[in-house]
């Protein structure tokens, strides 16, 4: 039977939610306060879940120090203390909703984690709103 | 691949756990302090999980403002600051255990959420006791 | 210099807030949902703070096992899984607001804790509403 | 003896930390990532503490519904989902550090709370960095 | 449809992570600070998840008082306030990583929980590192 | 008026509580499970509070990056992933209770923080037991 390991990290970022193909009024009606043209921001809590077999030699699924370092190098350097809309290529044209941020983080990490492991990303935008990707 | 979104709300309620077909002694033996005839109460933390495709136009699975409003209108107005046994039709004859409350909340919400989405309910009775419905 | 030690316990209780000298309408106007005649309830988190000198022989201000046992015997047996209005003498005529509950708990504990120690009580009614007694 | 009551609210905002009288390099050296010209952001947790006598008629120091409404009207409408540097007059020229935000919030609330009460503001910028104003 | 119930308990323990077949230098290189020969320790948060049908007579999947007692008798008496490497037979030769501790706890509980229920164990070593067993 | 700033850090350590001048039975009777000769351990949450004037040029009481670095250099390198009784000079003969650890941390930090600031240390041994030093 497999085991899941979870590693929690965090980053702080500014963002604005809007669809550039919609009018300002349409964006205001749909996204409300999140459409503020001058941005707002969040403390994002990021949880990365890796599922696989425990290695009998180490007792680890994967080394959490390695996983933490990977998240820092592939995700946090891009997003921490940044404006997601203005400072990142990933969200230059993609709306930085929690759903999209979680999927992008999954894509940033997937190729560095051996294919024998399953990977999931949980992202807390606030303690009342959070997402998980992928979810069957 | 699908994404799950989670929305957390809370309500405060009184309840008593007992089976009306059992004697007081049988209820006392099984439900212990939870059988207090004068009720006790909890701060219930409610997490509603909706699983579906992210809409490319919005970047949302569902709008969390809409989901929060739905939970308030269909669940919180019925249960918040209420006595579950005395003030609600749902628990007039159904024992208001966390398991039953979670299932009832799922039923209260299910018909208002498009069938293309999966729905799950997590309910914290305390931070040490909580339930999830449904769970395969 | 003195040290403070804190011990956290919890209890679950039902209550109703109202002033028996007011009309139902006056209570409804002032206490709102908390005036539900059938009661509602909370998970109360209780933190007891004892301030004193650290004993060089033990390294303790007071033994936390003793303090935990004292709180259980003097407070939790009275209030846990109870209806504060109906099941306790302390709140038979006293409105069980968080302010009053915290003061009563302080009075229940004070005489069992040596006068050389200062005593404070923090009481969380929810994670958004809490009180501290006494507070200069 | 007096009692303290605490009310927790939250807001999400973008900000940039810098001193306009310093060069970009000086700001970068001192404020580091927080000096990002495109802003970053936080989930601010705000706790307002009011200290006073408990009213025997109500059992309240102050009505928490009133306090919550006051915080929303005087603080959250100004700061929630805003860019503190660009969208507020308070931080148009004042550096929006947690220390300064807490003091400004105290000033926004003080005149609406009767002088017989003491007032303190706690502000969590992250769960690892927070401030309290005033503090003797 | 089935329901999951979760019960949270905790224990405090010392441990050292190393592979006795490796040299000290190899263990130091792989396990880093966790290889301290004099041990370090953790507050372990343990969550036991039981999945099954809700009993119509009780409204419970399983009685949480029974589940809590079972965890105390089968797990906590063995591990709480112990040195996992020196004081337990389970980890006399098995590396006490979170992955291995979670699996051992699952094995300690499985035979006492009716086969009609599914069982999962979550174990928090810190609030940033945690594991789940089993996980498909 | 002054402002307090708080910085939270954490460390994981093993310890044993006992008085070397007492018999094993006396230690067992007083310290109970905490007297395990093979040690147990904790995730210690450490909060350092610095009280002073906000600098008008920076908007900071003290720079939190500097404070975090100071705590790491003066406290965490000594205590993190260590056995407090065996691996540290501070607790070679001093009982490593939370009270004593908090006082030692205060002494380790005090001389590096300008005398114009007040300093307090909060230390969580578990989320139910914690201490503050000094406390008037």
* pLDDT at residue A134, rounded to an integer: 98
F3/D103 CB distance under 8 A:
yes
Q: What is the mean pLDDT of each run of 10 residues along chain C (136 residues)?
A: 98 98 98 98 98 98 98 98 98 98 98 98 98 95
User: By the CB < 8 Å criterion, does D72 face chain A?
Assistant: no
Instruction: Give the CA angle between residues C126, C129, C135 to the nearest 5°.
Output: 125
In tens, the pLDDT along A80-131 reads 999 999 999 999 999 999 999 999 999 999 999 999 999 999 999 999 999 9
Note the pLDDT tens digit of each residue in D29-45.
999 999 999 999 999 99
- The confidence score (pLDDT) of residue C91 equals 98
D50 forms beta bridges with D5, D119
Q: Which tens digits make up the pLDDT trace of E79-114?
A: 999 999 999 999 999 999 999 999 999 999 999 999
Contact B108, B75 (CB under 8 A): yes
Annotated active-site positions of C, please?
34, 81, 125
Computed over every residue of chain B, the mean pLDDT equals 98
Determine whether the interchain pair A3/E133 forms a contact, defined as Cβ–Cβ distance below 8 Å.
yes
pLDDT reading at D109 higher than 90? yes
Contact at 8 Å (CB) between E96 and E18? no
pLDDT given at position B136? 83
Task: Kindly tell me whether chain E and chain C come into contact, counting contact as 3+ Cβ pairs under 8 Å.
Answer: no
For chains F and D, tell me whether 3 or more CB atom pairs sit within 8 A of each other. yes
**pLDDT tens figures, D45-77:** 999 999 999 999 999 999 999 999 999 999 999
Angle at C119 between CA C117 and CA C123, to 5 degrees: 160
Question: Mean pLDDT across the stretch F22-38?
Answer: 98
pLDDT digits (tens, 9 = 90+) for A8-29: 999 999 999 999 999 999 999 9
Domains in chain A: ranges and CATH: 2-133 (3.30.479.10)
Between CA E17 and CA E7 the distance in angstroms is 27
Active site residue E81: yes
- Coil, helix or strand at residue C42: strand
Residues 39-68 in E contacting B (C-alpha not used; CB under 8 Å): 51, 54, 57-61, 63-65
Establish if B15 touches chain C: CB-CB under 8 angstroms.
yes
Q: Mean pLDDT across the stretch F104-112?
A: 98
- Cα separation values, B14 from B34, B109, B133, C15, Å: 11, 22, 21, 8
Active site residue F135: no
What does the pLDDT read at residue E136?
83
Whole-number percent of chain A with pLDDT over 70: 100
CB C128 within 8 A of CB B10: no
Mean pLDDT of F59-76: 98
* Residue D136 predicted with pLDDT over 90: no
pLDDT band of B125, cuts 50, 70, 90: very high
Residues in chain D, overall count:
136
F127 pLDDT band (50/70/90 cuts)? very high
pLDDT > 90? residue A136? no
| Residue C136 confidence (pLDDT) | 83
Query: How much is the average pLDDT of F20-25?
Result: 97
**E19-39 pLDDT tens trace:** 999 999 999 999 999 999 999
Q: Across the interface, do D129 and F6 touch by the CB < 8 Å criterion?
A: yes
Residue F59 has its nearest CB partner, among D100, D127, D135, at D100
On chain B, the residues whose CB falls within 8 A of the CB of C43 are: 42-43, 126-127
How large is the average pLDDT for residues B77-99? Answer: 98
Is residue A77 less than 8 Å (CB to CB) from chain D? no
**CB-CB contact of E101 with E44 (8 Å):** yes
Contact residues, chain C, for D54 at CB < 8 Å: 97, 99-100, 103
How many residues can be counted in chain F?
136
pLDDT number for residue B119: 98
- Cα angle B116, B122, B127; round to 5: 165
Average pLDDT, chain E: 98
Q: Cβ contacts of residue B129 below 8 Å, gap of 6+?
A: B98, E5, E6, E7, E8, E64
Helix or strand run (H / E) with residue E41: strand E40-52
Token pair in block for residue A66? 């390695």
pLDDT surpassing 90 at residue F136: no
Position C86 scores a pLDDT of 98
């Amino acid at each position: 039977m497999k085991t899941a390991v979870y590693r929690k990290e965090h980053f702080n970022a500014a963002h604005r939610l809007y669809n550039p193909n919609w009018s300002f009024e349409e964006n205001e009606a749909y996204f409300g306060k999140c459409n503020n043209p001058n941005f707002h921001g969040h403390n994002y809590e990021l949880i990365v879940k890796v599922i696989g077999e425990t290695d009998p030699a180490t007792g680890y699924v994967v080394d959490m120090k390695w996983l933490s370092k990977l998240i820092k190098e592939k995700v946090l350097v891009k997003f921490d203390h940044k404006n997601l809309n203005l400072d990142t290529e990933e969200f230059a044209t993609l709306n930085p909703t929690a759903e999209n941020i979680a999927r992008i983080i999954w894509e940033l990490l997937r190729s560095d984690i051996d294919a024998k492991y399953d990977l999931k990303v949980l992202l807390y935008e606030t303690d009342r709103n959070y997402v998980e990707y992928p979810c069957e």
